[in-house]
Amino acid sequence: MGRRKLEIKRIEDKSSRQVTFSKRRNGLLKKAKELSVLCDLDIGAVIYSCRGKLYPYCSTNSLSEILQRYHSRTETDAGPSSQSCETQAKYSRFLTCEELLQVVERELEEPSTDDLSVADFIHLEKQFETALIQARATKTQLLLKSISSLEGKEKLLEEEKMLLKGKIGGSKTKIPVIDLNALPSEE
C-alpha cells in the first residue's frame, strides 16, 4: 500500500506546523549533505523559521565563500548582453551577497531562546555571572582609584591648611597686641 498524496497547503495547527517544519528541514539538510557528498558539490542553504531563527547549512567551510561565488556568477551572467536586463530583473528580488552575508552574520550572533535546552540556559547563566563579576571588578577598581585620588586631594588640602595657619600665626606675632584692660583710664 502506498502513501497517500499530501495536499500542499499551510498547516493551520501551530504545533503540527512546527513538527512538520523540523522534520522537513532536517530532511532537506540531509538531502543537501547527501547530494554534496555523492556529486562532489558545494551546497549552501539558508532557512528561516517563522519565528525568525536561522538554520544555515554549508557543505564547505564557508557559507560566505559560496555566496561570493554565487554573486560573482550572477555578475558575469549579467554581462554586456541582451540578457542582462532579463537577468537583473530575474535576480532583483534576491538579496545582494553583502546583504545576505549581513543577515546570516546577524542571525548567527543573535541568540534565540526557542530551541535552547536547560544546559544552554545554564551556560548562558554562567556567562552572565562571569560578565557581572568582571563589571563589578571594574567598578571596584574605578571606585578605589577615585578614593585614592580624593585621599591625595585631602592630603594636599591639609598641607595647604597648615601652611595658611602658619602664615596667619606668623602675621599675628608681627602685629602688636594691645591689651585694652592695661590702658590707664582717664577718670
Q: Where are the alpha helices (DSSP H) in 175-186?
A: none
Question: Structure pTM?
Answer: 0.40
Joined grid coordinates for residue 124: 548562558
pLDDT (tens digit per residue) in 54-67 = 888 888 877 788 87
Query: How many Å apart are CA 130 and CA 35, to the nearest integer?
Result: 43
Joined grid coordinates for residue 148: 585614592
Mean of per-residue pLDDT scores for the chain: 77
Average pLDDT over residues 158-166: 91
117 to 18, 37, 121, 123: CA distances (angstroms): 17, 31, 6, 10
CB 95 within 8 A of CB 106: no
Q: Was domain 14-109 assigned CATH 3.40.1810.10?
A: yes
Q: Which of 5-14, 36-45, 157-166 is the most confident on average?
A: 157-166
Domain-wise residue ranges, the chain: 14-109, 118-171
State the amino acid at position 41 in one-letter form: L
Average pLDDT over residues 134-154: 92
CB 44 within 8 A of CB 28: no
